[in-house]
């Protein structure tokens, strides 16, 4: 079976901060997509207290994946399906850590497909060692002085240390 066009996927999220779990999903997503746009949302569907500005997150993602030209970090606002259309992406990649993620992600996938029938969503299961990692948990542990070096790349860890030293919580 040959493809007439490259497969462009979106991996949307807040990525505040980017974790090794996110990195794993992005790199594994390249097994099914020719290019992945890591889409950093300006607005979140969940109320979260952020650590990094959107532009900082995009830059950190760029640094982490600097060795892979098929990964492109970009910020966006508005509907994911509108952004997908603009980018020529017909695939959304999402990670499912637990069964509790599935209900919400299924609703989002079905809504996106209703809004734009040309979009498909695939769910990737994280590596077992990453299944409990979430950005909000990493932020909380780091803000309380805990060691999160196993959960984020060295680039992200250093940025978190600098940010938390300036803005203690």
Catalytic residue at 22?
yes
Nearest Cα residue to 45 out of 12, 19, 93, 91: 12
The residue annotated as part of the active site, out of 62, 70, 85, 97, is 97
Tokens of 123: 């769910």
Catalytic residue at 49?
no
Count the helices and strands in the chain (H runs, E runs): 6, 5
The residue annotated as part of the active site, out of 42, 48, 49, 162, is 48
The residue annotated as part of the active site, out of 57, 135, 139, 153, is 135
Catalytic residue at 134?
no
CA 96/CA 94 separation, integer angstroms: 7
The residue annotated as part of the active site, out of 22, 35, 57, 139, is 22
H or E segment to which residue 87 belongs: helix 80-87
CA 99/CA 114 separation, integer angstroms: 23
H or E segment to which residue 163 belongs: helix 154-166
Catalytic residue at 97?
yes
- Do the Cβ atoms of 118 and 90 come closer than 8 Å? yes
**Which residues are part of the catalytic machinery?**
22, 48, 97, 135
């Amino acid at each position: 079976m040959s493809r007439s066009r490259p497969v462009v996927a979106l991996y949307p999220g807040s990525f505040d901060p980017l974790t090794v779990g996110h990195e794993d999903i992005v790199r594994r997503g390249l097994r099914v997509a020719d290019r992945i746009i890591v889409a950093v949302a300006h607005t979140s569907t969940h109320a979260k207290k952020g650590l990094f500005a959107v532009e900082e997150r995009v830059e950190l993602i760029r640094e982490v994946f600097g060795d892979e030209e098929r990964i492109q970090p970009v910020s966006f606002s508005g509907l994911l399906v509108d952004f997908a259309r603009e980018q020529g992406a017909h695939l959304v990649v999402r990670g499912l850590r637990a069964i509790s993620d599935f209900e919400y992600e299924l609703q989002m996938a079905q809504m996106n497909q209703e809004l734009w029938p040309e979009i498909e969503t695939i769910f990737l299961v994280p590596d077992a060692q990453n299944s409990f990692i979430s950005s909000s948990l990493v932020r909380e542990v780091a803000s309380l002085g805990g060691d999160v070096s196993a959960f984020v790349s060295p680039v992200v860890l250093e940025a978190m240390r600098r940010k938390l030293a300036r803005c203690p919580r």
